[in-house]
Chain A
Amino acid sequence: MKTTETIRQPESAYLHEPAAASKRSKLSKKTRDTLTGYLFISPWLVGFFGLTLGPLLFSLFASFTDYNITSKMNFVGFQNYRTMFTLDDLFWTSLANTLYYVAFSVPLTTAGAILLALLLNQKLKGMKVFRTIYYLPSILSGVAVYFLWMQLLSPSTGLVNTVLAWVGIEGPAWLFDPEWTKPALLLMKMWSVGGGMLLYLASLQGVSKEMYEAAELDGAGLWQRLRYITLPMISPIIFFDVITSTIGAFQIFQEAYVMTESGSGGPANSLLFYNLHMWNNAFKVFDMGYASAMAWLLFIIVMILTVINLKLGKRWVYYEGGDRK
């Protein structure tokens, strides 16, 4: 409705063109557009320089100082980095915990989301209801959800161990057993896998039916159709998802902060993640220089992994309609 109304505008626009042109200032259209363009994106520019690039450069500088927010910034060379690598055992613990979490959560959530999307992509009754159910947990986040899982994982009276007891399994102490704290977080993560599912479902619905029909006539089975049609067709989304969820997984913090006593790191520091350690250094002992060094190392690690992902992506990501940069 609305579009037809607005589309009719050209006729009237044409009639008024001379008048409109004279109303404008003497600047050429090109200059005017450039000025307007930069004016419009100026909030983002302020944010980019003030909240991203500026802070990034500042923390690089601060990482070579002993800054503690009230002190002067004394240049200490590579001391923060040396402490990190040689003296701070907790740094290595936190890095190992984080890599463990990334290594398991990214493949698990990606595979889980794809599987779920494949199931939900069937043309059956009630699929919309299932889609709503599976998507629901992904919009629930924050402290309330962590409380819920602390209750569910309660060793004696929690739901998880109750259900395990039905089938004769004696459930672990989850958040109280250093061996089981990270699997506990992974379980919680799997609960909200429906957020990623939606992305895959949308792209699965874009895969043409003809291709499957042709493959079926050629005698391709379920697995072959998945391997040679479905996965290549949705590979750009898998690629995007793997990159963003890797970056996301490195940021794990809130879960560990809330589910252990205000960021203590949990039993045997098994939930002391990289960001939690950085947080404690920055805001508990106010060693901003050291925290900045940690931040920059994180930045470098994540960048390297992203570049590796991008490079590897060229080998397995399939773009319909030929080459793409």
Chain B
Amino acid sequence: MKTASAHAFYKSKKFREKMKNTIVVFLLILGSVFVLAPLWWMISTSLKSPAEIAQYPPTFIPKEFHFSNYIEAWQTAPFTRWALNTLFIAVCGTIGAVFINSLVAYAFAKIRFKGRDTLFILVLSTMLIPGFVTMVPQYILFSKLGWLNTYLPLIVPAFLGSAFFIFLLRQFMMTIPNELIEAAYLDGASHLKIWWHIMLPLTKPALITVAIFSFNGAWNDLLGPLLYINDESMYTLQIGLQTFKGTVQTQWHYLMSMSVTVLLPVVLLFFFFQRYFIEGSNISSGTKG
């Protein structure tokens, strides 16, 4: 009884393991199709002729590849200008986000001062306030400051800290030993110098994560430009794309080719810096428990 049944048990367990793995891989492939098919569809539609898009049943691979769709769509509206505007806002905002949030996080992580912990709880609790609650008064404030139709309302807030980034960077900085800071301090370095010469280099991975998230956020922001920008020449890509819909109506080959173009920088950013996208999530999950 001993050897025979043990052998059978081993076999059945191995079999079950194999079964389980097959099901897992099958489900994952099925899900991947659900995830990737829309992207395929977008690219395929962007290369079709209008006639082929209207055709039923639809084709999965374009009969002819109309790469000219991309150039024609780009020339239908001042997209070059809009792209440069967006780039300008995103780069300014990212610089602000990286340096300001890291400075604030440094104080919360490494300087002992009265009221620090209470203030940090306040930082965290602002994450619980829906942004829409403060939208109207912020608009009134910026309009009274005469900032409407300028990029200031889109850039300046990035220089005033973001609760999520402060939290992320602080958690990362907490892992850096205090002795390092204290030693440098005793050596005569000011906190500003320590932050610049020690903290910034040591927290580079987290800073890159912040930079990517903030660039991505600015690139995809529709609400801000929609509220504050009126002149067409000052549009960003998102708001430009939204008005483009009205210009070309349902010319899906143009809408899809412009969509691909606008998403492309984000996708490239993702593939080059994938590690940092994932690190961002890891930092926040490792510490929220």
Residues of A within 8 A of B (CB): 2-3, 6-7, 9-10, 12-14, 16-17, 19-20, 23-24, 30, 33-34, 36-38, 40-41, 43-44, 46-48, 50-52, 54-56, 58-59, 62, 69, 116, 119-120, 122, 124, 126, 130-137, 139-145, 147-149, 151-152, 156-159, 162, 165, 191, 194-195, 198-200, 202-203, 206, 236-237, 240, 243-244, 247, 250-251, 253-254, 257-258, 262, 275, 278, 282-283, 288, 291-292, 295-296, 298-299, 302-303, 306, 319-320
A36 neighbours in B (Cβ, 8 Å): 107, 111, 113, 190-192
Task: Name B57-114 residues within 8 Å CB distance of A.
Answer: 57-58, 100, 103-104, 106-108, 111-114
B174 neighbours in A (Cβ, 8 Å): none
A141 to chain B, nearest CB (A): 5
B188 neighbours in A (Cβ, 8 Å): 16, 19-20, 23-24
Q: Are A44 and B289 in contact (CB under 8 A)?
A: no
Chain B binding surface, main DSSP class: helix
Asked if A148 meets B259 with Cβ closer than 8 Å, knowing A20-B187, A198-B278, the reply is yes
Question: How distant is the Cα of A278 from the Cα of B137 in the complex, in angstroms?
Answer: 13
B287 to chain A, nearest CB (A): 10
The interface size of chain B toward A, counting residues with CB under 8 Å, comes to: 105
B202 to chain A, nearest CB (A): 7
B266 at the interface (CB under 8 A from A): yes
CB contact between B263 and one of A59, A145, A151 (< 8 Å): that residue: A145
Question: How distant is the Cα of A192 from the Cα of B220 in the complex, in angstroms?
Answer: 15
Q: Are B107 and A47 in contact (CB under 8 A)?
A: no
Q: Are B222 and A12 in contact (CB under 8 A)?
A: no
CB contact between A33 and one of B112, B140, B166, B284 (< 8 Å): that residue: B112
Chain A binding surface, main DSSP class: helix
- Besides A202-B286, A282-B139, 20 more A-B contacts (Cβ < 8 Å) are A7-B179, A9-B184, A13-B186, A20-B187, A30-B112, A33-B112, A41-B104, A41-B107, A69-B143, A137-B38, A140-B266, A144-B241, A148-B256, A151-B41, A151-B252, A159-B38, A278-B136, A283-B227, A288-B136, A302-B129
Q: Are B141 and A55 in contact (CB under 8 A)?
A: yes
Question: How distant is the Cα of A295 from the Cα of B36 in the complex, in angstroms?
Answer: 38
A157 neighbours in B (Cβ, 8 Å): 53-56, 58
B217 to chain A, nearest CB (A): 9
B108 neighbours in A (Cβ, 8 Å): 41
Closest Cβ neighbor of B201 among chain A residues: A2
B41 neighbours in A (Cβ, 8 Å): 148, 151-152, 159
Asked if A40 meets B107 with Cβ closer than 8 Å, knowing A6-B180, A144-B258, A299-B129, the reply is yes
| A9, A37, A237: most-surrounded residue (chain B CB, <10 A) | A37
B233 at the interface (CB under 8 A from A): no
Q: Are A258 and B281 in contact (CB under 8 A)?
A: no
Asked if A151 meets B113 with Cβ closer than 8 Å, knowing A13-B186, A13-B187, A58-B137, the reply is no
